[in-house]
Structure 1
Amino acid sequence: MVGKIAFVLAAVVVCLPGTAAPAAAEPVPPVMAALGDSISAGFNACGWYVSCTSRSWAAGDHPSVNSHYLRLLGYGQAVKGHNLNFAVPGSTSADLAAQARKAVAADAAYVTVLIGAQDACVSTEARMTPVPSFRDRIDRALAVLAPSGAKVFVASIPDVKRLWRIGKDNVVARSFWALGHICPAMLARAASSAKKDQARRDRVRERVQDYNEQLAQACAAYGPACRYDGGAVFAFPFTLDHVSKWDYFHPNADGQRALARVTFERGFTWDRAPLAPETTPDPRALAR
């Protein structure tokens, strides 16, 4: 009964005059840019240890991924051919400001950011980027973008402990992690159930959660022109089917498609261009 009353009261509040109105639709940006690390670069999404920017969840142009860029094309053609990707594999938060400067120089009106996995995926737990340093670097990058008026979408960092959980019993995955020295802070001694290894994994996961909290706060400080995904990427229940079989770490094309879907629906509301051709695909249909 208490739950029902609370639900009714919440519904009444939503309907009261003066409550927050839905966000106004934004015009389709003429230029968009993806910033970040190997995930946004589409690393290992179509080839052996190469960046596959066409499969990027953000700025890719391959139909199999249905990226932010392709979804924006569903609203209008203003952005056609202007999907830039400045993400670089191996980048950390320290590299974000330089990427932001490239986006500003290219007149990007919409920028996606996914950064931080490499701040945690280091050789040892002790080498992870301190949280205050991480926040300072994010603030510096957003300060570069702010004068341009760019709309910014910030994605949360994936849950790397979930990767360990779904792959720890797979001998092939463990072999790739060990031989490739992939994210040792989390994935070293992946088969171990020793308390010290369990505690280490928990601490690395907590650091990623701390980074995500700072991303949310930094986006809020940027103002109404920034959207954070609310932790959607971190919470996404990905499986090994979403991961490249060349390293069992990076998203494959299916993983990139999932990233595009869960992030786009938590971003801006875009206004369909009035002169868009009638044959333009409906982005809501593409998202399904």
Structure 2
Amino acid sequence: MRNRSHRSRAVLAVAAAALLGVAGCDATGGNSPAPQGTTAKVRPSPKATPAWDRSPKSVAAVGDSITRGFDACTVLSDCPEASWATGSDTEVNSLAVRLLGTAGAAERSWNYAVTGARMADLPGQMARAATEKPELVAVMAGANDACRSSVSAMTSVAEFQADFEDALGTLRDALPKTQVYVSSVPDLKRLWSEGRSNPVGKQVWKLGICPSMLGDADSLDAAATLRRDTVQDRVEAYNKVLEEVCAKDKYCRFDGGAVFDYRFGTDQLSHWDWFHPSKTGQAWLAETAYRMVTAKKPVA
């Protein structure tokens, strides 16, 4: 009996020790101190969120006529050398030149923007840009979605969002970690306000430049005011989409509305059409993009 009692106590002790061991590991998530005389296993820390690379080694650009430098050098013509994103013109000092130097920009920057492009065209541009495997893609698109023949012809906010998400998805399918800088859509109503004081500019606008905003430039009646306000509201909605969609992508930075908020004057506008940026305007866009890309933290 004494032997059986001794064995029973021994079995109970082993069982209790085993139970305590299980409770000390699983029930507390493995954080209980290890028994004396043993070595605790240290779990690896979770990986930190990837840091934004403030000095990418290659740049591709997508977007519309602004990124093509339209009317920055000669009338009614693209001037990619004056592009804020990838141009070589020393007056502009483009984003690519600031990041890569003159020689580096010539070798490792690409401009796939197309004059007249809308957000629906961005997925195709992204696909072409991805073939170069850039470390940064600079995006400026959306002005042509609002600059239509009429208010009713503007791209809907839902379509705009779907197209932008499609564009980012196209890039992510090919290049999951490539960084993206997204510019806000410019303030089109300020373009009207600044340019309407110039008789030549108003004559050029009659050729069909952004009729939804710039048409009948001298009219201040209720209908014209409502039309311009509707276009402005749509631009603001586009910018909200750009901000919100970009925020969901850890490798994307929005400019925080810097381009939309910029209080530009006529010196920053092309004196051929009083709509597109001049070289001075392109230089400001380049400076702003560089500041955003190289900032330690994104703009809140």
- State the partner residue of 1:215: 242
1:177 is aligned, of 205, 209, 225, to 205
1:189, distance to aligned residue in structure 2 (A): 0.7
SS class of match (2:253): strand
Q: Give yes or no for the alignment of 1:116 onto 2:122.
A: no
- State the partner residue of 1:43: 70
Find the aligned partners of 1:202 and 1:79 in 2 and give their Cα distance.
Answer: 40
Residues 101-121 of structure 1: CA distance to partner in whole angstroms, max 9, x if unpaired?
A: 011111111100000000000
1:217, distance to aligned residue in structure 2 (A): 0.8
1:82, distance to aligned residue in structure 2 (A): 1.2
**Change over 3 Å in CA distance of 1:60–1:97 after alignment to 2:** same
- State the partner residue of 1:236: 262
Contact 1:57 1:65 in 2 (8 A): yes
- State the partner residue of 1:95: 121
TM-score w.r.t. length of structure 2: 0.78
Contact 1:30 1:79 in 2 (8 A): no
SS class of match (1:126): helix
Contact 2:88 2:106 in 1 (8 A): no
Q: Give yes or no for the alignment of 1:166 onto 2:194.
A: yes
2:183 is aligned, of 155, 162, 166, to 155
Find the aligned partners of 1:80 and 1:109 in 2 and give their Cα distance.
Answer: 15
Contact 1:244 1:252 in 2 (8 A): yes
Count of aligned pairs: 246
| Higher mean C-alpha displacement, 25-34 vs 115-124 | 25-34
RMSD: 1.9
- State the partner residue of 1:58: 85
Aligned-partner residue type, residue 217 of structure 1: E
Higher-Rg structure is 2
Aligned-partner residue type, residue 153 of structure 1: Y
Aligned-partner residue type, residue 148 of structure 2: V
Structure 2, unmatched stretches of 5+, are 1-49
SS class of match (2:133): coil
Contact 1:164 1:187 in 2 (8 A): yes
TM-score w.r.t. length of structure 1: 0.81
Contact 1:36 1:114 in 2 (8 A): yes
- State the partner residue of 1:142: 168
Find the aligned partners of 1:113 and 1:185 in 2 and give their Cα distance.
Answer: 23
Contact 1:233 1:263 in 2 (8 A): no
Find the aligned partners of 1:142 and 1:56 in 2 and give their Cα distance.
Answer: 22
With a CA cutoff of 8 Å and minimum separation of 6, indicate the structure with the bigger relative contact order: 1
Structure 1, unmatched stretches of 5+, are 1-22, 271-288
Residues 82-131 of structure 1: CA distance to partner in whole angstroms, max 9, x if unpaired?
A: 11000000000010000000111111111000000000001001000000
Contact 2:148 2:210 in 1 (8 A): yes
Residues 230-288 of structure 1: CA distance to partner in whole angstroms, max 9, x if unpaired?
A: 00000001111111111111111011001111222122448xxxxxxxxxxxxxxxxxx
**Change over 3 Å in CA distance of 1:27–1:77 after alignment to 2:** farther
Q: Percent identity?
A: 40
